[in-house]
Structure 1
C-alpha cells in the first residue's frame, strides 16, 4: 500500500500556493506540482506534514 492513498492525494493541496501535490519518488514526501513553488512536504508515520516551515525545496 502506498504511503498516501490516491483519494487523499486528490483532495490535498499545497498550503503555499494551492496547487495539487504528488508523491515523491521514494514515498517519503509530497511535492507541489507547481514548478514555481515546488515545495516538498515530509511524511511522518505516513501522515503528511503540510506546514510551510517543515517543507523543503527539492533540488
Structure 2
C-alpha cells in the first residue's frame, strides 16, 4: 500500500507525468513513459533502471 499523500506528489522521473498505484503488482504505473516502478517494503523505487516496461495492454489501461 502507498500513502495517498505521497502518491499525490510523486511523478515519473522520465516523463514528469503523474503515477497510478497498481495494488495487484505493487507498482507505480506511468502510462506516459510506459514504465512501472516497483514498491519495495512500502518504498517506491523511482529509478528508470529498476522500472519495467509496460505491455501494450497495460499502457491502454
Both proteins in one fold, TM over 0.5: yes
Relative distance call for 1:33 and 1:12 in structure 2 (3 A) is same
Residue from 22, 30, 41 that aligns with 1:32? 30
Higher strand share: 2
Q: How high is the TM-score relative to the length of structure 2?
A: 0.81
1:49 and 1:11 mapped to 2: Cα distance? 15
Higher helix share: 2
2:3 and 2:17 mapped to 1: Cα distance? 18
1:50 has 2:46 as partner: yes
Aligned to 2:52, what secondary structure does the other structure show?
coil
Query: RMSD of the TM alignment (CA)?
Result: 1.2
| Structure 1 unmatched runs, 5+ | none
Q: How high is the TM-score relative to the length of structure 1?
A: 0.84
